[in-house]
Amino acid sequence: MAITLTERAACQIRQQLTKRGKGLALRLGIKKSGCSGFAYLFDYADEIQADDQLFESRGAKVVVKQDHLSFFDGSEIDYVQEGLNSTFRFINPNIDNTCGCGESFSLKTQEQNQEL
């Protein structure tokens, strides 16, 4: 299992945690949502829980619940700015398709879809 960060994403995570004044990592998750089925969740992790997996890349930390690991395995996270918008962008080999607006996605296997 691996999740990596680009330098831009790692820098953004470090900056946001510093600006917030607390927190250990960026917490990632997914939920059923949107026209394609799933959407990413972002939050701060102030503590590491028993069912969390911690990843560190380029000096920044990311936390994922163990039951969501298969959805993120092999992913690289980038941070991009397009005009006035900025966001984390996933390069995720587990995604089958994304919706036209780019806000939701479907996963490659139906078995994984039913786990959530």
The confidence score (pLDDT) of residue 106 equals 62
pLDDT at site 113: 44
Residue 73 phi/psi, 5° resolution?
-55, 125
Task: At 67, list the tokens.
Answer: 């039951």
| pLDDT at res. 44 | 95
In three-state secondary structure terms, 20 is: helix
Q: For residue 49, give every residue at least 6 positions away whose Cβ sits within 8 Å of its Cβ, in sequence order, or none.
A: none
Are residues 87 and 97 in contact, defined by beta-carbon separation less than 8 angstroms?
A: no
Residue 102's CB is within 10 A of a number of other CB atoms, namely 11
Read off the pLDDT of residues 16-65 as tens digits, 9 standing for 90 and up: 999 999 999 999 988 887 666 778 889 999 999 999 999 999 999 999 99
